[in-house]
């Protein structure tokens, strides 16, 4: 399996499919919104985009299974090889006309992410990485920020839209980071947050209540760009574990704030 060639093919597919998403935005009607759960929105654009991606990826690598947000979703353990797809990461932004959303595609092999592509449609920016091959933005190498301390860092996060039981812990993290960093940003698309962390626009990112298709591609891109990714317990269950911390050299300081306020025991 030539991961470099595969990444190139997947990047091309993401760009082609992104054109459909871009054009559909100009005629999108909120009347087409569906609700999968509390504040969990989906549109015909998500569904049609996923169909295009599944068809394209099935041609690129027919033997791979599919783990997709709007379709059949199975645990990675059921697949020796599987695509993990988010057709429109940032659906709520898309529906409201906020120009921050992306296509996210990852390939998992034997429980390890080996390829990741995040295509931010509005800025025509394709972030990509393959295991051991480095990270790229529009085919040019990228690296995480050189920030060494929390005090010189800009941090991205996301707000939960369901499961609010740990809200007070989360607010404690926000309060501390507001005082100890350059600031916090909430874009509403985890794949974009991770891609921006990989290229140094953000110095770190954290969130909980995440799904694998939100983060699978972006976490590999951060790691291949020289960054660190862990779950809130300090472990490696950040793709299916629903929570993660990502960052550059200041990662230990960011992790300490989150772990302490989250009131958990580190692995």
User: What pLDDT is recorded for position 44?
Assistant: 77
User: What pLDDT is recorded for position 34?
Assistant: 65
Angle at 163 between CA 162 and CA 166, to 5 degrees: 130
Residue 186: inside a domain, yes or no?
A: yes
User: In this structure, are 61 and 109 located in the same domain?
Assistant: yes
User: What pLDDT is recorded for position 50?
Assistant: 94
Residue 267: inside a domain, yes or no?
A: no
Q: What is the pLDDT along the chain (267 residues), one digit of tens a residue?
A: 899 999 999 999 999 999 999 988 877 666 656 655 444 545 778 888 999 999 999 999 999 999 997 764 444 445 689 999 999 999 889 888 999 999 999 999 999 999 999 999 999 999 999 999 999 999 999 999 999 999 999 999 998 766 677 788 899 999 999 999 999 999 999 999 999 999 999 999 999 999 999 999 999 999 999 999 999 999 999 999 999 999 999 999 999 999 999 876 555
Last residue of a domain, one of 141, 158, 187: 141
User: What pLDDT is recorded for position 73?
Assistant: 45
User: In this structure, are 254 and 157 located in the same domain?
Assistant: yes
Output the domain CATH number for residue 40. 3.30.540.10
User: In this structure, are 126 and 167 located in the same domain?
Assistant: no
Which residues pair with residue 245 across a beta bridge?
Answer: 206, 230
User: In this structure, are 123 and 171 located in the same domain?
Assistant: no
Q: Is 31 annotated as a binding residue?
A: no
Specify burial of residue 216 (Cβ count, 10 A radius: 0-12, 13-18, 19+).
buried
Last residue of a domain, one of 141, 158, 178: 141
User: In this structure, are 80 and 114 located in the same domain?
Assistant: yes
Q: Is 236 annotated as a binding residue?
A: no
Q: Is 50 annotated as a binding residue?
A: no
Spatial neighbors of 211 by CB under 8 A, at least 6 apart, are 69, 86, 242
Residue whose structure tokens are 């429980």: 111
User: What pLDDT is recorded for position 47?
Assistant: 87
Distances (CA, A) of 205 to 6, 48, 202: 27, 30, 7
Output the domain CATH number for residue 209. 3.40.190.80
User: In this structure, are 41 and 68 located in the same domain?
Assistant: yes
User: What pLDDT is recorded for position 80?
Assistant: 86
Last residue of a domain, one of 89, 115, 141: 141
User: What pLDDT is recorded for position 25?
Assistant: 81
User: In this structure, are 169 and 126 located in the same domain?
Assistant: no
pTM of the entire structure?
Answer: 0.91
Residue 75: inside a domain, yes or no?
A: yes
User: In this structure, are 11 and 116 located in the same domain?
Assistant: yes
Q: Is 89 annotated as a binding residue?
A: yes
Residue 249: inside a domain, yes or no?
A: yes
Looking at the structure of the chain, the number of domains it has is: 2
SS (H, E, C) the chain: CCHHHHHHHHHHHHHHHHHHHHHHHCCCCHHHCEEEECCEEECHHHHHHHHHHHHHHHHHCCCCEEEECCCCCCCHHHCCEEEEEEEEECHHHHHHCCCCCEEEEEEEECCEEEEEEEEECCCCEEEEEECCCCEEECCEECCCCCCCCHHHCEEEECCCCCCCCCHHHHHHHHHHHHHHCCEEECCCCHHHHHHHHHCCCCCEEEEECCCHHHHHHHHHHHHHCCCEEECCCCCCCCCCCCEEEEECCCHHHHHHHHHHHHCCCCC
The residue range of the domain holding 206 is 150-262
């Amino acid at each position: 399996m030539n991961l470099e060639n595969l990444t190139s093919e997947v990047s091309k597919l993401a760009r082609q499919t992104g054109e459909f998403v871009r054009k559909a935005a100009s005629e999108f009607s909120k009347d087409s919104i569906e609700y999968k759960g509390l504040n969990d929105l989906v549109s015909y654009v998500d569904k049609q985009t996923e169909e295009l991606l599944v068809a394209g990826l099935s041609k690129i690598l027919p033997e791979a299974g599919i783990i997709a947000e709007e379709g059949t979703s199975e645990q990675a353990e059921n697949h020796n090889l599987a695509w993990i797809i988010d057709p429109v990461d940032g659906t709520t932004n898309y529906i409201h006309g906020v120009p921050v959303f992306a296509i996210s595609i990852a390939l998992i092999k034997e429980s390890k992410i080996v390829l990741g592509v995040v295509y931010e449609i509005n800025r025509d920016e394709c972030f990509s990485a393959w295991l051991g091959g480095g990270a790229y933005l529009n085919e040019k190498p990228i690296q995480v920020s050189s920030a060494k301390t929390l005090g010189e860092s800009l941090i991205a996060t996301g707000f939960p839209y369901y499961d609010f039981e740990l809200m007070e812990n989360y607010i404690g993290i926000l309060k501390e980071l507001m005082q100890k960093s350059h600031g916090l940003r909430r874009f509403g698309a985890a794949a974009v947050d991770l891609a921006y962390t990989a290229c140094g626009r953000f110095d770190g990112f954290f969130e909980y209540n995440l799904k694998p298709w939100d983060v699978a591609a972006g976490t590999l891109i951060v790691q291949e760009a020289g960054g660190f990714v862990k779950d809130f317990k300090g472990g490696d269950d950040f793709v299916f574990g629903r929570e993660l911390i990502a960052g550059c050299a200041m990662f230990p300081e960011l992790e300490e704030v989150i772990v302490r306020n989250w009131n958990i025991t580190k692995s």
